[in-house]
Amino acid sequence: MGHRTSEAIQVRALSIASPAEQLLRANAEWRVVQLFDRSINLATASGGFISVNAAGIDPAPFSILVESNVQDAPSYRQVFANGDQLQTVTVGCRELQIGRVHIDLRAAREWNPLLPKGQLVNVTVYADIGRVVTLLDQFAPQDSLPVECGRKGDSKIGAQVRLAWGKMRQALVQDAPAEGRQGAFLAAGVGIGLTPSGDDFLVGVMLALWLAMKDPEPYIDSLIAGATGRTGQLSMALLKSAARGEAGQAWHHLVEALIRSDSSMLESSVHSLMSAGHTSGTDALFGFVVTLGTICQPLSRSPKDSTMESTGIRS
């Protein structure tokens, strides 16, 4: 890409997440809400959200992945440097047009981001949780939540997420879903960037609830209620996707590794998740593992000897 002229730019969609395809069929009015070098985020007035990503970006549960010319990597910022028709979004049955970028949808491979609810309910995962904790201890970035929450004299972000997790954990231990709302309220929007650390943590918490509980909806609904209105559009879209059990492909690989108890696959999927964003994948994985540890903690283990203790979140 990288064109400066007003000519149309033709690209092919390589894949499309099924929720994104369903949203495009809804005949809603779309507008550009965020523009980056390799991504364009679209939203509707009713909260629908789609992300158009250049190949090489791990697709979100609402992504359309488009081809990328390796020799001339696309820069949407450059394409729309003058705001050229940026707000003109047209949806057809075979094409998505964003200004002068025309995306051919005909050959796009559809993929389903939905993780089966309760998929880990009858799976023994505690040993694998320990392996994930070890990898977090070894490789988590210094400004990520596993480190921030484990420091003596927490950072402001670490202290806030510890407090928030305490509320969410209490809701689980006491079987009181409504109590988790305050925890989500405290975590949502905490941190910097497009997806703050507190939001990423909540994504991991909700995916763990979805996978490891037979009836996760009361807990998840409480968390969504607490987070609503506390963060930006991209984060909220990711949170709503997680609440429905929808996740990127790296999460699917992680779940498969847990089911198989395959150490090599587990390590690979953990590194893949941790490579997402600066700390986003790590922070989400941290929320996932502390929640999974709470739900799956063997009765024979003392709470003081739990995964929460080894990852630095202590109740």
Segment 107-124, tens digit of pLDDT? 999 999 999 999 999 999
pLDDT, one tens digit per residue, over 133-155 is 999 999 999 999 999 987 666 68
Domain assignment present for residue 158? The answer is: yes
Q: Please, which residues have CB within 8 angstroms of residue 144's CB and are 6 or more apart in sequence?
A: 197, 279, 282, 283, 286
Q: Is the dihedral of CA 227, 159, 277, 273 positive or negative?
A: negative
Domain boundaries, position 133 = 126-310
Give residue 100's pLDDT: 82
One-letter amino acid identity for 158?
Answer: G
The answer to whether 94 touches 104, Cβ cutoff 8 Å, is yes
Q: Please give the mean pLDDT across all residues of the chain.
A: 87
The answer to whether residue 116 sits within a structural domain is no
Residue type, 192: I
pLDDT at 229: 94
Task: Indicate whether 121 belongs to any domain.
Answer: no
Does one domain contain both 274 and 132? Answer: yes
Same-domain status, 83 and 232: no
Region 11-33: what's the mean pLDDT?
A: 92
With a cut of 90, say whether residue 298 has pLDDT above it: no
Pair 90, 221 in one domain: no
**Do 137 and 262 belong to one domain?**
yes
Does 201 have pLDDT greater than 50?
yes
Indicate the residue among 111, 144, 162 that finishes a domain.
Answer: 111
289 and 145: one domain? yes
Strand pairing partners for 109? Answer: 15
Same domain, 173 and 271: yes
Write out pLDDT tens, residues 76-89: 877 776 655 556 78
Is 190 found in the same domain as 94?
no
Q: Looking only at Cα atoms, what is the longest distance across the chain? A: 68
Distance CA 17, CA 19 (A): 6
User: Mean per-residue pLDDT for 296-309?
Assistant: 47
Residue 9 binned pLDDT confidence (cut-offs 50, 70, 90): confident
Cβ neighbourhood burial of 128 (10 Å; 0-12, 13-18, 19+): buried
Question: Treating both helix axes as pointing N-terminal to C-terminal, what angle do 156-173 and 180-187 enclose, rounded to 10 degrees?
Answer: 160
Residue 213 has pLDDT above 90, yes or no: yes
Spatial neighbors of 188 by CB under 8 A, at least 6 apart, are 198, 199, 202, 226, 227, 230, 231, 235, 239
Please indicate, yes or no, if residue 117 is contained in any of the structural domains: no
User: What letter does residue 106 receive in the DSSP assignment?
Assistant: T
Residue 135 covered by a domain? yes
Total domains in the chain come to: 2
Co-location of 234 and 277 in the same domain:
yes
Residue 306 has pLDDT above 70, yes or no: no
* Residue type present at position 281: G
pLDDT at 68 (0 to 100): 76
Q: CB 185: neighbour CB atoms within 10 A?
A: 18
| Element spanning 249, H or E | helix 249-260
In this structure, the answer to whether residues 103 and 194 fall within a common structural domain is no
The pLDDT of residue 6 is: 63
pLDDT of residue 198: 97
Q: Is residue 118 part of a domain?
A: no
Residue 224 inside a domain? The answer is yes
**Residue 3, domain member (yes or no):** no
Residue 31 has pLDDT above 80, yes or no: yes
Q: Which of 11-20, 146-155, 304-313 has the lowest mean pLDDT?
A: 304-313
Residue % of the chain over a pLDDT of 70: 87
Indicate if 78 and 146 belong to the same structural domain. Answer: no
| pLDDT mean over 85-100 | 81
* 103 shares its domain with 227: no
Same domain (yes/no): 38, 145 = no
State the average pLDDT over residues 59-71.
81
pLDDT of residue 220 exceeding 90, the answer is yes
Task: Please indicate whether residue 268 or residue 38 has the higher confidence score (pLDDT).
Answer: 268
pTM confidence score: 0.90
Contact 60, 234 (CB under 8 A): no
pLDDT at residue 79, as a whole number: 74
Mode of pairing for the β-strands spanning 89-91 and 63-66:
unpaired
